Structure 1
Amino acid sequence: MTQSFRDRLVLGVATLALVPLQAQAQSVPDQTADDVPGEIVVTAQARTERLQDVPIQIQALSGETLENAGIRTSAEALSLTPNASFDQGNTYKSTFVTMRGLTQINNADPPVAFVIDGVPQTDQTQLDVNLYGIERIEILKGPQGALYGRNAEGGAINIVTKQPTDRFEGFGNLLYGNGDQFVGSAGVSGPITGEDLVFRFDGTYRQFDGLIRNTFRGDKADFVDHDWSLRGRVIARPTSALTIDLRAEYGEFRAASNYYSAVFSGDANDFVLPQFNLPGSAEGDSLNLTAKIDLDLGFATLTSITGHTELTQKNRADLDYRNPVASPGGIFGLGFQAGQGQDLDLKTTSQELRIVSDDDQAFRWLAGVYYLHTDRSLRTRAFVDVNSDPAQFDNLGQLFANKFEDNSNNAYAAFAQLDYDIVENLTLTGGLRYDEDRRKQTDILAGTVRKTSFDRVQPKVTLTYKPASDLLFYATYSTGFRSGGFNAPGVPVPLFDAESLQNYEAGFKTQFLDRKVTFNGAYYFENVKNYQYFYVDASTASQIIDTIDRVHIRGIELELAARPIPGLDITGAIGTTLSRIKRSSVAADEGNRTPRSIPFSSNLSAQYAWPFTETVNGLVRLDWQHFGKKYWGADNVDVQDSYDLINARAGIEFGNVGIFAFAKNLGDAKYYTEYVPTKYSGLDVAIGYRGRPRTFGGEVRVTF
């Protein structure tokens, strides 16, 4: 047994020791109406509603579903949603969210609103979240600008953590897998002074030696040295009408970064391993503070949500993604190797104030105001690599590109939504939001300052018809807006425009066979103006955001959930995203699909839980995800073939102790989560970011 494994084993035992092993006999719970598919309660529209009564296509994943599927990150959760993907690329925390054809790009706002306990996460480095102590995740598809504001073009992801409880309870979880992967998490909740003052404390830790081998260095390119976070939460109820909810979370990480493979063949289906000489790594920390206050006014609830985030990250990596032995000519044949690095410092403060009327009336309303201040400092350097040491980033004599910028913005918004029951089963909903985004960029090295602003009115109108308690039809016109901004100083495209869209959607939600079957679906059409996309000029270390004049996107979404027999749950979904570039400054791209688009995706999950005895229960779960062809660039030259991911999990529970085995990517499918051809990478070779190979292991879970 190695020392590192022994240390992790001791830590794992200590983690589980946080949870008293008060194993009590528990039988399989009765399958009540609240357990059937579709009977999930959500807060997608700032009020508590039954999922099947909300005229939006929503994928809702409960905390129990996340545990049973072995989902531990927001990326894994989104992969269960058709017409959506959550890819990793670039730095350790950098992600690429794509929903209904609208995609994340580097150094720009995300195409979806990403909200944790009511607080928006505005930077792409904030979206890859470790999931622990989660109540549920709500994934809303389609523009949600009227309520969620700027950047909610593709939809919204609403993560709700577990609240403190008025009785003592907790959990502990320990996972070990191949690649010497160790994940531990634990939490405890209970009263401080009775039910009016309660607390919750959760934490998680991850370490991973990696599975993707660097063929030149001989080490693993995808390691995680450590990634941990702690979250504390206190809820106080001084009076029956007032609730104060305080939350704090802090985390640190150090892990692999930018482990792209040089793809000399230029073939998006040539899945090669990394071979760079300069090791890539990223390290950082984050602090999140939230204060939520709810005041019951009798006729409505007044809510204040204040959020503050501080985040720092340092990234060092190879730039040419090759080595001096296999490529002695170096980057662009100039005779030298090259490295890169970025230092990011992000601070955000947000404030939302809203008032929501009571639900028990034919006319329902809500209104609010919102403010966000962001400071984002980014230092970017490219340097001549002479010794494979990342510390060369600090040697000014070796730099051939040096940029240092500070971007700040103040965003203001006012919003309202009205629901009116025209008759008992026909409801008209109208929403309106005004967003203004004032941006300022300072070139710290040159001392120059640029300012601009973007604003947009975002209306939404929905007509909902409910002829029966388990049947709903809706038609929606909605809009979305993603702010524009500045590229780095000295970039050929100094300013990129705001992206906006109009969405036309019709859908249905239905349940039958005594609510044992849920079937939902929608058709949508999006007219996008100034579609944002990304490319790189490596010779100047310039990351450039530009726009495509006009894009049309249409598609369908169908979701089915069924419980044919007690204990067996089956869910499946398909989605299509058929995009077309209608007008572009690059005439040859017109008629093509948009970058990173996947025209067809689907998934299927089956879970069976049954009692072995009165005290022992079994669980088997299988998840299948199909990703169709992926078009990496606007020219549609580089297309990745379709692939499938199969995840499996099985185990038994002895009262409140569970033992499970798992495997992810069971078929060891090979794919890139990001592929950048030379036309868009700015390099003299294409690069690809390898997807995670097959992982497997065991897990122990304890609850009390």
Structure 2
Amino acid sequence: MKLASSFKRNTSVLAISMAVATLIPAAASAQTAGQSDDLVLEEIVVTSQRREERLQDVPIQVAAFSDSKIEAAGIKATQDFINLVPNVSLDDSFTYLNTFVVVRGVTQINNADSPIAIIVDGVPQNSQKQLKMNLFDIERIEVLKGPQGGLYGRNAIGGAINIVTKAPGDTLEGQVNASYGRGDALDLTAVISTPVGDEGGLRVSGSYKTDNGRIENSHTGEKVDFIDHDAEVRARYNQNFGERVKMDLRASYRDFEAGAVYDSVVFSGEPDDYVAPSENIEGITFGDIFDASAKFDIAFDGATLSSITGYTALEEYFRGDIDFTNAVDKPGGFLGLGFQAGQGQNLDLDLFSQELRLVSDTDGPFRWITGVYYLHTGRDLLTRAFIDLTGDVSQFDDGIAIVNLSESNSNNAYAVYGSFDYDLTEALTLSGALRYDRDKRSQTDLTSGDVRKTDFDSVQPKATLTYHFDDNKLVYGTYSTGFRSGGFNAPTVRIPVFKDEELENFEAGFKTSWLDRRLVLNGAVYKSKSDNFQFFFVDAASASQIIGNIDKVDIWGVELEAQALVSKGLQVFAAVGTTDSEIKENTDVPASVGNKTPKTTSWSLNAGFQYDVELTDTHNLMMRLDYEHRGKKYWQIDNLAVQEPVDLVDIRVGVETEGWGLYFTARNLLGEKYYTDYNPRAYSGLDTDIGFRAQPSTWAVEGKVRF
């Protein structure tokens, strides 16, 4: 069975690789066949550097998805576009909103700051719980790789994700989408946009999901990955006050309840031993998120002043098993103590941010940006472990508690920044950025009343030299830095305060377009040095999630990307990224020196094609295939638990007109079995390994109507 699976996987890899290798050079012959000059790859305009620029002019490795690419790839959630970007991964784990994003070896830490800045319509999303989004009515997605601290500040140590929702237009329009898939998964979205007066517009959109699940608990027979409901509504209102003043208001509300805490117990200790969950407590996550923002742009002669205000109130509560098994399979109980146990946590988070930014006009050889930023975060966390007598999650509130931790965290972050671009010649541009971040944190132990306070700060410079050979070819060299603030663990754990992490990155790259923009070739080589690299593990005995530091880490890698328009309607694409991390110094665990950092994937590859063909004057057939290869994954700092490579194939086929479309989508077509998160017993806090199962093969049929 293993041999057949391996043969199937390797055959797919070989077939797709041969197709890409054959079709990309074919773009060269396409030009000589007399194709028209308007047959070019789509040109995407991005705001990666806080002003509008052509994607190919930005001296950063950026993966960008326009609205047409989002629809063609069937992108409906964060996971969908992350899977299309080499050297970036997003792993589901534990609760419904909990994910671990890894960018060029820099890793997400649970209950801490993200390693990647998340920006939605210009507003920073300052919690890791905000990364797992339902993506509907989206104009553009940009993924920037490498530290972006000079522009985006704290938490951009690995890169940045910039998401732009669709703005109201000057005509009445709308759209309705509905899909049904494996596991009775139902996904509905609706959008309506209307002008308001002569200078205003309102756009309202909504999403609703429900899902019976596909992963079965072998002990209870129930599906653990269910979604009882995930409902969201969003509104955006734009208004122009004359020619110089613009207002952009945005609000959203999301309410959800879904399965959670369904790790499988892996008694063998082998990450490729794919077993079913078997806990006796059915885990659950529930909560809601409210977001609101207000942006005002005031145009002066020579510059535009922007005020950006954001507010988020987020609640996520979970309940579930703590030993992830049952009295039949493990009669010794929790940690061999003779009883079953459960756990739960209440997270209440409030975020308020304010930014003032002044951006110069793009005319002239010298362009600049300057600004100030403030963020307040309030985070209350209640964590309990309890003796499980009934298998019911209500024991969190009325059962026998064996651990009860309650804390209130507050931090105020301040920043001032500036950046510039200066054309030394028509071909040579010098760019620079400098940002100072200060983070003042405090934690109150609500049980004892003890208060702890500490500060973290960092100066983050960036310098880039870009040389344009012509309008379609450039090379660049960059020195950039990133900063991720430190913070407090739970008051009673052995590492009470974890240190802030800082990273230096040296990068050289190129961006080129060839054959009248029918062929794009981009690439870069990078070397990063991290001080106080943050990593995460669990101490189950105290029901504590702990963040520690690795003193010094080196990371280096290579990234290459190719897109080719082979003929009218036929586009092929491929991209590869490598990440080679090495622990250089680790005071806490000296034996880990020389190992790779946690959750590191050695290399990743994306390849595929999209073919659009006219069936009639009004009907179009779309076919798309995406292949993803993930190299070996090293789960923890001892490198003893290593997951073998994973190969994923997605397909999407549809018939569409200007007014409607019908589609079929299949993900993980080959049925690859793997874990999205895996914690060896030395780091899980348990006496067994645990793994969080990935979704099996899924399919969905979808219909949409535009008006």
Bin for the TM-score computed over the shorter chain? over 0.9
- Normalised by the size of structure 2, how large is the TM-score? 0.94
Partner Cα distance (2:96, 2:41) in 1:
35
1:541 matched to which residue of 2? 543
Match of 1:165 in 2: 169
Match of 2:438 in 1: 436
Offset from partner CA, 1:310-368 (integer Å, 9 cap, x none): 01111001000001122121011111011000001000000010000000110111100
The residue that corresponds to 1:653 in the other structure is: 656
The Cα of 1:703 is off from its aligned counterpart by 1.4
Correspondence list, 1:13-52, <5 A: 36-37=40-41, 39-52=43-56
In structure 2, the partner of 1:131 is 135
The residue number in structure 2 matching 1:145 is 149
Q: Is 1:84 equivalent to 2:94 in the alignment? A: no
Please say if residues 39 and 518 of structure 2, whose CA atoms lie closer than 8 Å, have aligned partners that are also in contact. no
Q: What's the offset of the Cα at 1:487? A: 0.4
Corresponding position of 2:103? 99
Q: Give, in whole Å, the separation in 2 of the partners of 1:53 and 1:310.
A: 37
Aligned counterpart, 1:678: 681
**Deviation for aligned residue 1:608:** 0.6
Cα contact 1:348–1:373 (8 A) shared by 2: yes
1:211 alignment counterpart: 214
Task: Give the Cα–Cα distance (whole angstroms) in 1 for the partners of residues 658 and 190 of structure 2.
Answer: 18
Aligned residue for 1:389?
A: 392
For 1:333 and 1:655, locate their aligned partners in 2 and report how far apart those are by CA, in whole Å: 63
Corresponding residue of 1:110: 114
Conserved in 2, the CA contact under 8 Å of 1:91 and 1:257? yes
1:602-657 CA distance string (max 9 Å, x none): 10121111111101110001011110000001000000000111000101114411
The match for 1:283 is 286
Distance 1:563 1:37 in 2: 6
Identical positions, percent: 52
2:555 to 553, 556, 567: 553
Distance 2:666 2:538 in 1: 36
1:161-240 aligned at under 5 Å gives the runs 161-194=165-198, 196-240=199-243
Distance in 1, matches of 2:676 and 2:397, equals: 31
Residue 146 of structure 1 aligns to a residue whose secondary structure is helix
Q: Is structure 2 residue 348 aligned with structure 1 residue 345?
A: yes
CA distance in structure 2 between the partners assigned to 1:464 and 1:519 by the alignment: 17
Matched to 2:409, the amino acid is: N
Counterpart pick for 1:599 among 592, 597, 602: 602
One-letter amino acid of the structure 2 residue matched with residue 112 of structure 1 = I
Q: Name 2:339's counterpart in structure 1.
A: 336
Distance 1:237 1:654 in 2: 34
CA–CA distance in structure 2, aligned partners of residues 34 and 211 of structure 1 = 46
Letter paired with 1:187: V
Shift of 1:71: 1.4
DSSP-derived class of the 1:620 partner: strand
What is aligned with 1:369?
A: 372
- 2:509 aligned partner: 507
**2: CA distance, partners of 1:35 / 1:178:** 38
Partner of 1:257: 260
Which one of the candidate residues 574, 577, 585 is aligned to 2:576? 574
Question: Could you tell me how far apart the structure 2 residues matched to 1:202 and 1:115 are?
Answer: 19
TM-superposed deviation, 1:395: 2.4
For residue 4 of structure 2, what is the aligned residue in structure 1? none
Q: Does 1:68 align with 2:68?
A: no
Unmatched 5+ residue regions in structure 2? 1-34
Deviations 1:542-601 (A, max 9, x none): 111000000000001001111111111211100000000001122211111100000110
Instruction: Give 2:376's aligned amino acid.
Output: H
Task: Give me the whole-angstrom Cα distance separating, in 2, the residues matched to 1:133 and 1:349.
Answer: 25
Contact 2:213 2:223 in 1 (8 A): yes
Equivalent position SS for 1:463: strand
**Separation in 2 of the partners of 1:243 and 1:221?**
47
AA aligned opposite 2:620: N
Partner residue, 1:699: 702
2:13 alignment partner in structure 1: none
> 1:454, CA displacement in angstroms?
0.2
| 1:35 positional shift | 8.1
- The one-letter amino acid paired with 2:386 is F
Conserved in 1, the CA contact under 8 Å of 2:39 and 2:568? no
**Could you tell me which amino acid in structure 2 is paired with residue 574 of structure 1?**
V
CA, structure 1 residues 686+570, in 2 after alignment: closer, same or farther (shift >3 Å)? same
Q: Please give the secondary structure, in 2, of the residue aligned with 1:692.
A: coil
| Greater displacement, 422-431 / 653-662 | 653-662
CA contact (8 A) 2:37 2:516 kept: no
Residues 34, 358 of structure 1: alpha-carbon distance in 2 compared, 3 angstrom cutoff: farther
CA distance in structure 2 between the partners assigned to 1:545 and 1:504 by the alignment: 27
Q: Following the alignment from structure 1 to structure 2, what is the Cα–Cα distance between the partners of residues 34 and 692?
A: 41
Partner of 1:303: 306
Equivalent-residue separation in structure 2 for 1:358 and 1:35 (angstroms): 32
Q: Is the 8 A contact 2:443 2:452 kept in 1?
A: yes
Identify the residue that residue 267 of structure 1 maps to in structure 2. 270
Alignment-mate amino acid for residue 384 of structure 2: R
Q: Give yes or no for contact 2:40–2:516 (8 Å, CA) kept in 1.
A: no
Q: In structure 2, how many angstroms separate the alpha carbons of the residues matched to 1:607 and 1:679?
A: 45
CA offsets, 1:190-222, max 9 Å, x none? 20113x011100111111000000000101010
2:23 matched residue in structure 1: none
* Equivalent residues, number: 672
Q: How much has 1:37 moved relative to structure 2?
A: 3.3
* Structure 2 match to 1:451: 453
User: In the alignment, residue 598 of structure 2 is paired with which amino acid?
Assistant: P
Query: How far, CA to CA, are the matches of 1:116 and 1:376 in structure 2?
Result: 21
- How far did residue 33 of structure 1 move? 8.0
What per-residue deviation string (whole Å, max 9, x for no partner) do you get for residues 417-451 of structure 1? 01110011100011000000000001011101000
Q: What CA distance in whole angstroms lies between the structure 2 residues aligned with 1:124 and 1:471?
A: 36
Evaluate the alpha carbon distance shift between residue 297 and residue 33 of structure 1 in structure 2; reply closer, same or farther with a 3 A threshold: farther
Q: Partner letter of residue 370 of structure 1?
A: Y
* Alignment partners' CA distance in 2, 1:694 and 1:36: 35
Q: Is this contact kept in 1: 2:179–2:702, CA < 8 A? A: yes
What is the one-letter code of the residue matched to 2:363? D
The answer to whether residue 405 in structure 2 is matched with residue 414 in structure 1 is no
CA distance in 2, matches of 1:480, 1:345: 28
Residue 465 (structure 2) aligned to one of 463, 466, 488? 463
Using the alignment, how far apart are the partners of 1:477 and 1:313 within structure 2? Answer: 38
Q: Distance in 1 between matches of 2:70 and 2:557?
A: 27
Q: Give distance in 2, aligned partners of 1:653 and 1:114.
A: 33
Counterpart for residue 22 of structure 1 = none
Q: Is the 8 A contact 1:34 1:40 kept in 2?
A: no
Aligned-pair distance for 1:90? Answer: 1.2
Whole-Å separation in 1 of the counterparts to 2:659 and 2:358: 41
TM-score by length of 1: 0.94
Answer with 269-278 or 324-333: which moved more.
Answer: 324-333
Partner Cα distance (2:196, 2:249) in 1: 14
The counterpart of 1:472, out of the listed 456, 471, 474, is: 474
Per-residue CA deviations over 1:13-40 (Å, capped at 9, x if unaligned) read xxxxxxxxxxxxxxxxxx9989843610
> Could you tell me how far apart the structure 2 residues matched to 1:221 and 1:131 are?
23
| Aligned pair partner of 2:529 in 527, 530, 545 | 527
CA distance in 2, matches of 1:63, 1:595: 34
The letter of the residue matching 1:379 is: L
Q: Which residue of 2 aligns with 1:11?
A: none
For 1:546 and 1:654, the matched residues in 2 are separated by: 54
2:125 to 117, 121, 127: 121
